[in-house]
Amino acid sequence: MKKVIFIKNIFFIGVFLCFIGACSTVPITNRSSLQLVPNSELMTMSMKQYDQVLETEKLSDNQEYIDTVRRVGIRIASAAESFLKENGLGNEVANYKWEFNVIDDDKTANAWAMPGGKIAVYTGILTYTQNDTGLAVVMGHEVAHALANHSNERMSQALLVNIGGAALSAALGSSSEEKATLAMLAFGVGTSVGILLPYSRLHESEADRIGMVLMAKAGYDPTEALYFWERMKASNKSGNLAFLSTHPGDDKRINDIQQHLPEAMQYYKP
C-alpha cells in the first residue's frame, strides 16, 4: 500500500512540475517530457562520460567504416538542426556538438547516443545496415534520442524516484562517483562500457518515429527502416542481439514503423 501511495505521489509531483515549467515538448511527437536537469550540466557530464568510453574501448581504424558513419551521421544531424530551425527552435541547435565514432567490435551489433549528440556505433551492426540507407535508420534512431533529450527525462525520473524532487541541486553537486553513476544510468551506458541499460519502450518507439522523419529529411528512404528491422528480426533467433534486447519486440516495432511510415514519407525528397 505504501508503495502505491509513493508511486502516486511521484506521479503528482511530475504533473505539478510540468505545470510550473519543468516540461519540454518533444519535437515531432509533441509529447510533454519532464526536464529537470539544466542542459549545461547534462552536457558537462555527457562529454566526460563519452571521453571515458572512448578511452576504454578500441576504436576502429577502418577508414571506410569511419567515413561512412560520419557521413551519414552528419547528414542526419543536419536534418535534425534544420527541423529545429524550421519549427522555431533554432536556439536549441547550440545544445548539440555532434561527434560520431566507430568502436571496433564485430560481435556487438549496437549503437548509442549521449546528450548533445555524442554517438558511437559498433562495427557489429554494420553487417545489418548493409548500406548508407540502412545505417541512416540506426543513426536516425540515435540522433532522435539526443533530439528528444531522453537522457534528461530519464535522469529527471531517477531523481524524482530517489529523492522525490526535493534535492536536485544537491544531487547534481554530489561526489563525482555518484554523479557518474547517475550519468551512466541516464545516458544508457552500463557499468561495463558498451552494455546498454534499457530505455523505456516509450523512448525507443519515439526514437524510431523521430528517426524515420530525420532520415527522410536527410534524403534517405524511410521505408528502409522496415527492411532493416526485418533483417535484425531474422538474425535474432537466439535473442542475444544487444540492439534488440533493450528495444520493443520485433513484431510490435515493425507494426509501429508501418503505422508511422506515411508521416515520414511526407518529408522524403530523394
- Top pLDDT among 267 and 235 is at 267
Phi, psi torsion values for 23, nearest 5 degrees? -105, 145
pLDDT band at 77 (very low <50, low <70, confident <90, very high): very high
Phi, psi torsion values for 156, nearest 5 degrees? -65, -40
Cα 76 to chain centroid, rounded: 13
- Predicted confidence at residue 160, as pLDDT, reads 67
* Residue 23 contacts residue 32 (beta carbons within 8 Å): yes
Instruction: Output the average pLDDT for the chain.
Output: 80
* Calpha distance 159→161 (Å, rounded): 5
- Predicted confidence at residue 38, as pLDDT, reads 83
For residues 172-191, give the mean pLDDT.
52
pLDDT (tens digit, 9 = 90+) per residue, 126-142? Answer: 999 999 999 999 999 99
* Residue 242 contacts residue 195 (beta carbons within 8 Å): yes
Judged against a pLDDT cut of 80, whether residue 21 lies above it is answered with no
Judged against a pLDDT cut of 60, whether residue 28 lies above it is answered with yes
Least confident stretch, 104-118, 120-134, 236-250: 236-250
Q: What percent of the chain has pLDDT over 90?
A: 51
Least confident stretch, 77-86, 144-153, 201-210, 231-240: 231-240
Judged against a pLDDT cut of 90, whether residue 244 lies above it is answered with no
- Predicted confidence at residue 152, as pLDDT, reads 86
Judged against a pLDDT cut of 50, whether residue 164 lies above it is answered with no
Give 100's strand partners: 119
* Calpha distance 248→86 (Å, rounded): 31
pLDDT band at 161 (very low <50, low <70, confident <90, very high): low
For residues 242-247, give the mean pLDDT.
51
Judged against a pLDDT cut of 70, whether residue 107 lies above it is answered with yes
Candidate ranges 33-37, 47-51, 117-121; pick with highest mean pLDDT: 117-121
Cα 211 to chain centroid, rounded: 10
